Amino acid sequence: NESEVLLELDNVVAGYGNLVALHGISLSVRHKEVVALLGANGAGKSTTLRTISGLIKPSAGAIRWKGQGIAGSPPEAILRLGISHCPEERHVWPEMTVEENVELGGYLLNSKVELRRRKEIAFHRFPRLRERARQLAGTLSGGEQQMLAIARALMSEPQLLILDEPSLGLSPRMADEVFDVIREINAHGVSILVVEQNVHKALNVASRAYVLETGEVIAEKDSASLKNDPELLNAYLGG
């Protein structure tokens, strides 16, 4: 059901120690939807993603997954429910091989057969990773490491993939490749919530976007109308 709301944040407050980074964030992601989170540095985009995936516990508000409250659940439980977080700056293990990194994404699986099946799907989708399966992840290019991080995040076969700055530090060509991969993953029915500093690329892949400023949602618009709102883009996103 395309209109089914998968994820819903309702007035979520969260932060780090005494610092409140999110002052009541409300947003939703529907089945098969691509949603972008935009905003200047420090607006709270990464904190929002970390709160969804259980790395930060909200101090107030609700997070619902298919209507069920998940705020405060540990990251592993949230991963099991079908939410996979691909963190900022890739975080692949440079001293481990590409294949070992991919396998880590399937750490919740008990079945070796299933692990092999999913690895095969990953290498089928990312042939360059298959070619480099035995190579240390640290020897990959930036773009390849990003692909590896995405491949690893897909090993749990999530219904919602959360991506933090997937094009960070990549050449324009590599960034385009990453966005092609994001489109393809979505075409397979996976919902996507993406934080992206490249507003243009984000709005080309997302159908809707939220604009964050200092821990608050200041706008929610479909991508087409946001593209035609230079005032908003200039004011909050630096053009």
Which residues would be at the binding site for ligand ATP (CB under 6 A)?
16, 19, 21, 39, 41-47
- Cβ closer to ligand ATP: 47 or 159? 47
**At closest approach, how far in Å is the CB of 8 from ligand ATP?**
20
- Cβ closer to ligand ATP: 44 or 58? 44
- Cβ closer to ligand ATP: 3 or 41? 41
d(CA 237, CA 223): 14
**At closest approach, how far in Å is the CB of 117 from ligand ATP?**
35
**At closest approach, how far in Å is the CB of 67 from ligand ATP?**
26
**At closest approach, how far in Å is the CB of 16 from ligand ATP?**
3
- Cβ closer to ligand ATP: 39 or 158? 39
- Cβ closer to ligand ATP: 52 or 151? 52
d(CA 33, CA 2): 8
**At closest approach, how far in Å is the CB of 166 from ligand ATP?**
13
Instruction: Report whether 156 contacts 108 (CB < 8 A).
Output: yes
Give the phi and the psi of residue 11 in degrees, each rounded to 5.
55, 45
Output the CA torsion 106→110→111→112 (10° steps): 60
Give the phi and the psi of residue 196 in degrees, each rounded to 5.
-150, 130
**At closest approach, how far in Å is the CB of 64 from ligand ATP?**
21
Instruction: Report whether 159 contacts 84 (CB < 8 A).
Output: no
208-213 sheet: strands from edge to edge: 83-86, 160-164, 191-195, 34-39, 208-213, 216-222
Q: What residues contact 41, with CB distance under 8 A and at least 6 apart?
A: none
- Cβ closer to ligand ATP: 7 or 52? 52
d(CA 80, CA 153): 12
